[in-house]
Structure 1
Amino acid sequence: MAKELMKDIVVLVPGITGSVLQKDGKDIWNPPYQVLLSAIGETLRVHSGLKDLTLQEDDIERDYLDDGIKATGLVQRASLVPGFFKLIDGYSYIRDQLTENFAVTPGKVDEDKPANYFEFAYDWRRDNRVAARLLKKLIDKKLRIWRERMNPHAKVILIAHSMGGLVSRYYVEHEGGCKDCKLLVTLGTPYRGSVKILDYLANGYLKNSWLIDRLAALTHWREVLRSFTSVYQLLPTYPVVNIDGNWQRIAEIDGIPGVVKERAIEGRKFLKCIELPKNAGAYTFTPIIGIGQKDTFQSATFSNGLLKASNKLPNQENEESLLHPSYATGDDTVPLLSAIPKELSQTSQVSFIELHGSLQSSDHLWENSLKPCLIASQNPLHLEEYFNNPQTIESAPQKSGISLSVDDLYLRDEEVTLGAEIINVKSDILEETGNFGGLRAIITPVNVNGEQKTVVEYFDQKHDTQYKKILEPNKLLPGLYRLEVDAKDVHESAPNALHSLFQVME
């Protein structure tokens, strides 16, 4: 089968933690082998190299700081920061699919050879405006070479995951990128911030109170994260915190632990400056949104110095509170409300029942959205037709899917509890298929201390479409695991497989 010719250049922009960082030529961030937590007796520790990631200063006018840290490539392997961020198979999937399905020429950022596929690595600790400026410099150079030697009419297609969408959006709206950009596709980008990030800053990863002392080392990682400018540019812009019955914005609140109000104000300014486009219509723009995950944090309460995140929608009396109940979802990291840019509040071209860390490595997302979108982009008439029929969130039909509940971190001597639910499925289909035979979990070791085979477990049905599985203690060796949950029986209406990661500690 002939590959589709790619006439433009394609740039892949990762999310936060998605670029490899080196200091003085040595990796200090390249998951999973340095970042996985290690058990030494009763003390959990984090690789000491993480301390070097602390951002001491951030001058937006400077491309590079004096700390010796440079971004050198994209994270390609599965990685996990407990309670904060997961990458399923890193970013190798999109690269592999592009080179397999399209006639593209991969290139390196430090070479002047004509090429039309690049991976943009950036220092994700810093202000996203710095990354956007560096993205412009890369595109200006590579696009000029491609136009001179291959296609004088070429433009750039940006595929951006998570925070990478904010970088890309700033590039096209404030760095003049709109004149050179043909298509911007974002995957799970938090255009209006993430309550999960707020919860992590305020509380860290405290799964159960009895883990607090043993996970004290994770506070170190939280302190490192608190130094990042980019983290403050991921905090929600709209009123999501309830204080004594009043809904307030984070930038209006004093005393949230782990949050510096002045930095929250600056972070909100960044998100607001890309909220409404100045160059609407100059390029094709589509956000691909992850939904279906009921554990997605939507709001928080703040009382007596403690912040508690919730899955309930905020209920403030303003335009952003007039939410259809279907908005009480997300991808487990980004709420649906945040994933939709404000100018598209009533429409969404593409949404998938998927987790945040799997959007960039999802087979069904690639086959049903990203690949057709890229094919259409090579013919302007097809591109216009492809995006000419948006649907409202309330009316968009949804295939059945799986809502998954799994902790990031378990101790070896505790039970591993998995929860799942089949959603968006009609009762007559359930009767016909017998709930698709139920659900199964395929647990595959990624980086494990010892010999551990893949484990296949079948969920117990709790009630109707709800399922639960408990793995007895010590069944899994310490290490990182990839989790796949799917329907046992194949059926055209069966939900697509869902993926996640979790860690087992000694």
Structure 2
Amino acid sequence: MNRAPFDDVLVVLPGIMGSTLLDRDGREVWGQDAATLHGLLRGGTSRLALPAGIGDEHPGDGITPGVLMPGIYASVGVWTTSLGYRRLLDHLTRRYTLTPDNLVAFAYDWRLSNRYNGRRLKRVVEPVLARWREQPGRRDAKLVFLCHSMGGLVARWYTEREGGATHTRTLLTIGTPHRGAAKAIDRLVNGVRLKLGRFGIDLTEVARGLPALHQLLPSYACIEEGGALRTIAEAGGLPGVSAAALDDAARFHAQLDGSPDTARLHPLVGINQPTAASARITRGTAVLQRTMLTAEGIAVDRLGDGTVPRFAAYPKGFGDRFPALSWSAQTHGGLPGHRGVLDQIDGVLTGTGVEFRASGTAIGVEADPLVLAGEPLTVRAESTDPALLMDAQLIEPATGTPVARQVMRHLGAGRHEATFVGLPSGGYVVRVGALRHPDPLLDPVTAPTVVVDPSALGGSGAVQGA
């Protein structure tokens, strides 16, 4: 296939936990293989911890970003299991005339403030652009950003707060929580405690020390109190969460809300997936809810990509009719490599546009993000068509080969479930679709999951930090 010309510099940014992290000796302290999880289980959580009140600085702990996570990786309960970025990068290099001179895969330390990483982004990409412009015919080249999840907030800080707009042609965000995500409330209030059979790990204190995770908190009114929704500040903060960190996160979003770059921004939004949008605080615990109260006190389900509510995946002041919006009925972790998403990326990059046409029937999918080999993997689905017959497949991501398939049990009211047992360790793409459905627009929904070999985790069964 002839590659399309690409005269700009393309910068790809992953989401939170989507970059490997290396210590002073070049060894991974965060990565994709079981050794990372083994290290955490053996008490290695302190290596990811940040000093209190780190703000927008680097801790000087010798940890540096490595590369973008290539394949499926589990976020050990801190965020969402993701497909990784190999498929996206492979597509881009096959489709366009990209070389190491004009393609930047920007790995970053996702523990740190998005302000810090936005400033580091400036230091990395502007010299690359300057060198690229020195080549014949490249004088007018600019930066094009392609960002998944939190990477979009890093890029927006650069373009909108660090003078990057003058160098930027396009900023395409994929599932970016422009207005935050209620999942962050759960992680910060309820804690991050991962159980894998007899193995376990407590990352709560690490999570509560991450400026980036606080900056994923909702900036919109999300706390239900007395029959109304209030912002986190109006609700008096969150139990167990630093007031200073909450104030800083609110300030971060206010700074971006004041200057959204509508001329360059193209948000791609995940839809139709069961997604937490609000929370009630009860006895120091956050109870997440899919619904949001309207002004009339009516609870409305705010479907999104399973992590980011639909309305939060574009900046404040945008709306569903904003012409630069794109849509995909896929899960947050599956968005970066989905065929339909890649088509829409191509439409933005080539300026040709791709029309999103959705079925009148919606499918939403949830799958266990991380299980031990030998334990059951449960896949849940829901549909707006209560009579829909559905099947679930597990796909080997490198080859696209199905390794297991089940017709899902119909539980009633449009809900379905399937359980897979005896799976070997590895990353899988869960694919849920309709059987014998006449609508060709009803695409299957995908979600990544990871099966871990317990022998790779060592002999300890203690819950570290608990």
TM-score normalized by the length of structure 2: 0.86
TM-fit CA distance, 1:415? 4.7
* 8 Å CA contact 1:483, 1:502 repeated in 2: no
Q: Mark the CA change 1:316 to 1:127 in structure 2 (over 3 Å): closer, same or farther.
A: farther
Query: Which of 184, 188, 191 is the aligned partner of 2:171?
Result: 184
SS at match of 1:357: coil
**Equivalent residue letter for 2:338:** S
* 8 Å CA contact 2:65, 2:108 repeated in 1: yes
Query: Which of 211, 224, 237 is the aligned partner of 2:219?
Result: 237
SS at match of 2:292: coil
For 2:394, the equivalent position in structure 1 comes to 443
Give, in whole Å, the separation in 2 of the partners of 1:212 and 1:442.
23
For 1:469, the equivalent position in structure 2 comes to 418
For 2:17, the equivalent position in structure 1 comes to 17
**Equivalent residue letter for 1:501:** T
TM-fit CA distance, 1:355? 0.5
Q: Mark the CA change 1:228 to 1:153 in structure 2 (over 3 Å): closer, same or farther.
A: same
SS at match of 1:28: strand
Correspondences of 1:27-176 after superposition (within 5 Å): 27-36=28-37, 46-56=41-51, 62=57, 64-105=58-99, 107=100, 115-150=101-136, 151-176=138-163
Per-residue CA shift, 1:421-454, capped at 9, x if unaligned? Answer: 344x7x9xx8xxxx5xx3222225689xxxxx92
Q: Mark the CA change 1:475 to 1:213 in structure 2 (over 3 Å): closer, same or farther.
A: closer
1:339 aligns with 2:319: no
Give, in whole Å, the separation in 1 of the partners of 2:131 and 2:146.
20
TM-fit CA distance, 1:328? 1.3
For 1:256, the equivalent position in structure 2 comes to 238
* 8 Å CA contact 2:13, 2:145 repeated in 1: yes
Query: Which of 498, 502, 506 is the aligned partner of 2:446?
Result: 498
Give, in whole Å, the separation in 2 of the partners of 1:141 and 1:499.
37
* 8 Å CA contact 1:16, 1:164 repeated in 2: yes
SS at match of 1:366: helix
* 8 Å CA contact 2:142, 2:169 repeated in 1: yes
* 8 Å CA contact 1:196, 1:333 repeated in 2: yes
For 1:311, the equivalent position in structure 2 comes to 290
**Equivalent residue letter for 2:6:** M
Give, in whole Å, the separation in 2 of the partners of 1:77 and 1:330.
23
Give, in whole Å, the separation in 2 of the partners of 1:143 and 1:34.
37
TM-fit CA distance, 1:253? 4.0
TM-fit CA distance, 1:343? 2.3
* 8 Å CA contact 1:239, 1:314 repeated in 2: no
Q: Mark the CA change 1:36 to 1:338 in structure 2 (over 3 Å): closer, same or farther.
A: same
Correspondences of 1:260-339 after superposition (within 5 Å): 260-277=242-259, 280-281=262-263, 284-294=264-274, 296-315=275-294, 325=300, 328-339=302-313
SS at match of 1:88: coil
Q: Mark the CA change 1:222 to 1:31 in structure 2 (over 3 Å): closer, same or farther.
A: farther
Give, in whole Å, the separation in 1 of the partners of 2:42 and 2:433.
35
SS at match of 2:84: coil
Q: Mark the CA change 1:401 to 1:364 in structure 2 (over 3 Å): closer, same or farther.
A: farther
SS at match of 1:287: strand
SS at match of 2:35: coil
Q: How many residues align?
A: 446
Give, in whole Å, the separation in 2 of the partners of 1:413 and 1:213.
10
Give, in whole Å, the separation in 1 of the partners of 2:430 and 2:254.
36
Give, in whole Å, the separation in 2 of the partners of 1:407 and 1:285.
33
* 8 Å CA contact 2:184, 2:213 repeated in 1: yes
TM-fit CA distance, 1:2? 1.8
**Equivalent residue letter for 2:29:** I
For 1:228, the equivalent position in structure 2 comes to 210
TM-fit CA distance, 1:280? 4.5
Per-residue CA shift, 1:219-258, capped at 9, x if unaligned? Answer: 2x22211111111111111221123444332234457344
Is 4-13 or 198-207 further displaced after alignment? 198-207
Is 494-503 or 229-238 further displaced after alignment? 494-503
Per-residue CA shift, 1:242-301, capped at 9, x if unaligned? Answer: 2344433223445734421221111011011111426553xx21100011112x111111
TM-fit CA distance, 1:306? 2.2
Give, in whole Å, the separation in 1 of the partners of 2:19 and 2:372.
29
Give, in whole Å, the separation in 2 of the partners of 1:372 and 1:493.
19
Root-mean-square deviation (CA, aligned residues, Å) is 3.2
Give, in whole Å, the separation in 2 of the partners of 1:404 and 1:410.
17
1:6 aligns with 2:6: yes
SS at match of 1:185: strand
Which consecutive unaligned segments of at least 5 residues does structure 2 have? Answer: 455-466
TM-fit CA distance, 1:478? 5.8
TM-fit CA distance, 1:489? 4.7
Higher relative contact order (CA 8 A, sep 6+): 2
Give, in whole Å, the separation in 2 of the partners of 1:91 and 1:441.
23
